[in-house]
A and B are shown apart, each in its own frame.
Chain A
Amino acid sequence: MPLKDYIGFCILIALVLLMPHLVANDYYLGVLVFTAFNCLACIGLCLLMGYAGQISLGHGAFIAIGAYSSGVLTTMLDWSPWTAMAAGALASMAIAFAVGIPTLRLKGHYLAMATLGFASIIHIIAVAATEITGGPAGLLDIPRLGLFGYSLDSDVSYYYFAWFAVVAGLYFAFNLVHSRVGRGLRAIHGSEDAASAVGINTNIYKIQVFALSAVYASVSGSLYAYYVNYIDPGPFDVMHSIVLVTMVAVGGLRHLWGALIGAVLLSLLPELLSMAAAPLKVIGIAYKPDYDILVYGGILLLIMMFLPEGLFAGLASASKSGTAFLMKLIKGGSIVRQ
């Protein structure tokens, strides 16, 4: 891992430790916990989209599998939350292999449509299988997660725990990206034919990274279930999968930091927009949360058309040209002085 990324980690950890002191309000702390869940899912999705060059429109379904595995196994079979979470992750991984092996063998983006279909099926099951999932009414009384005999009851403790999971997940992803596997994945994104010509088994790499990204999503779903203690099919619809893709694409496909920034920005965006509703009303625009989809769609469209590498790469190149410009100015200035 290059030095830059270590500095990034230091900044991230500092921000995570600082935020609870800046945010006094429990509600906003809760928003930050949800942001952590999105970040975790987006890290996995970024490995798939940015490195394997494949798109999944079904990550909401893996989140649902994680959440429902945790919910059903802990409430109905009295499993411990940790084993339930592991079971969910294993189930997600198995399903990812089952969906990925046939579709990733094909050229093109068949995975996108297969995962979209799969996500719709999972959502229909979550609504219709009332005996297991509770149907539209949902599952109640999911326990909180305990850690070394200490229950993560308060929002602050869960906040630290969720962001610890993000940092750990990110660290693992970075290690993967900078390993032999990661170099193979980047080669596949550059050119699949060239990658397979130098001896990379492109199919196996793509399938494995898809399964890994499913595990990330599943774990984030489990953590979500243990945090809100109640799940219903509402948040796991196809739209959520598309929002996750939006987060990764807006932040930057090619870089994990981009995915993280995209996830944070777009998770906080609804809050910012609802805060902006009051001043907007003054100038005669009645903003409703319903309009969020327009804002998301507009941002995604603009980024993809004009900044296809995403915000992170855009900012990086802007800061690079900015420093180059400054250097020029300074040098130019020194020339003038001479």
Chain B
Amino acid sequence: MTDWLQFLFMGIQRGAIYAMVAMGFNMIYNATGIINFAQGEFVVLGGLMMVSLTMVMDFSIVFAFFLSVGFVTIVGILMERLTINPVRRPTVLRLIIITIAVSMLFKGSAMCFWGKGSHYMRHFTEAQPLEIMGATIMPQTLWIIGILILVVIGYVLFFNCTMTGKCMRACAINRDAARLAGINDRRMVMLSFALSAAIGAIAGIIITPLIQMDYARGALLGLKGFGAAVIGGLGNSMGAVAAGLLLGTIEAMAGGYISSHYMDAIALVIMLVVLFARPGGLFGSSEEVRLKEF
């Protein structure tokens, strides 16, 4: 009885991270039509920066949080300004390879600055597990859930209630029409990289106390986040949140009941199955995806 509750907590904790990575993928996908292969590296950079600020420089959690998010946001903006923006008449293939190259640079830089080991970080509040119906839950997991809810609320408010958010949505729907309406589409691309880097950083910061971040985690986190984005329907961020939580839960259950060796593989198999059978995601139509291009 308590087993499944324990796995559920574990699953929601992992799923929240996948959901946020998937939201980051979707933002850049909606603005540019490409998949940013460096998305997972934003998560790693956020986590590692937070480790340095809290554990080495001994800043308070709140201050370090905003500083780390700001740092990764600037990295995201620089990535767009220096590598995506200057490319004239880009093909999708070329842009994808550029993001792969940037992810290699991020990974290499993270290895040079933070070394190859994994880094411990103190929990946001006390690390004493709470007991709920016989299962234990870390207070950090509650922080993760709370911050995911805040991010989702912020996302909805930004895209529905602010002018900039509405401009970004207009660009995602029809870039040419948005330009005709006087929206600076290149600025929207920059903004999408900034926001997506920020969300990635937040995901990295909140998960680091539980998993001990190291430089090489980006690829797998990014891939599973992409899995969540595909399952939720590429470009559909609310679908991505639901799919991320679902994927995390299935993964934790499978890891608990079937085999922990193959836990990582199970999420990827689900991603492949959805990609093959329902490429439009569980919540979209597969007709739609035939027309999508990235």
Chain A residues at the B interface, C-beta cutoff of 8 Å: 49, 53, 55, 57, 99, 102-103, 105-110, 112-114, 116-118, 120-121, 124-125, 127-128, 238, 242, 245-246, 249, 253, 290-291, 293-294, 296-298, 300-301, 304-305, 308
B93/A109 in contact, CB under 8 A: yes
Supposing A102-B275, A117-B268, A125-B265 touch, asked if A108 and B92 sit within 8 A by C-beta, the answer is: yes
For residue B268, which residue of chain A has the nearest CB? A117
**B residues 266-294 touching A (CB-CB < 8 Å):** 268-269, 271-272, 275-277, 279, 289-294
| B217 interfacial by beta-carbon distance below 8 Å | no
Number of interface residues of B (CB under 8 A): 47
B264/A106 in contact, CB under 8 A: no
B112/A106 in contact, CB under 8 A: no
Which residues of B have CB within 8 Å of A53? Answer: 93
Supposing A294-B112, A297-B104 touch, asked if A109 and B272 sit within 8 A by C-beta, the answer is: no
Supposing A55-B93, A108-B92, A109-B93 touch, asked if A121 and B279 sit within 8 A by C-beta, the answer is: no
| Smallest CB-CB A-B distances: 10 pairs | A297-B104, A294-B108, A102-B276, A301-B101, A300-B101, A128-B261, A293-B108, A297-B105, A108-B293, A124-B265
Supposing A112-B35, A293-B107 touch, asked if A117 and B272 sit within 8 A by C-beta, the answer is: yes
A112 to B223 CA separation, bound complex (whole angstroms): 11
Chain B residues at the A interface, C-beta cutoff of 8 Å: 35, 83, 86-87, 92-94, 96-98, 100-105, 107-109, 111-112, 116, 219-220, 223, 226-227, 230, 259, 261-262, 264-265, 268-269, 271-272, 275-277, 279, 289-294
Q: How far is the CB of B267 from chain A (nearest CB, A)?
A: 9
A304/B289 in contact, CB under 8 A: no
B87/A113 in contact, CB under 8 A: no
Partner of A304, one of B35, B94, B268: B94
Additional pairs, 20, CB under 8 Å, beyond known A106-B279, A120-B265, A245-B100: A106-B289, A107-B292, A107-B293, A108-B292, A108-B293, A112-B35, A117-B223, A117-B227, A118-B268, A118-B272, A120-B268, A124-B261, A128-B259, A249-B97, A290-B111, A291-B108, A291-B112, A293-B111, A297-B108, A298-B101
A294 to B292 CA separation, bound complex (whole angstroms): 33
Which DSSP category, helix, strand, loop or mixed, fits chain A's interface? helix
Which residues of A have CB within 8 Å of B104? Answer: 242, 293-294, 296-297, 300
B276/A112 in contact, CB under 8 A: no
Q: How far is the CB of B193 from chain A (nearest CB, A)?
A: 16
Which residues of B have CB within 8 Å of A245? Answer: 97, 100
For residue B271, which residue of chain A has the nearest CB? A117
Q: Which of B96, B100, B271 has the most chain A CB atoms closer than 10 A to its own CB?
A: B100
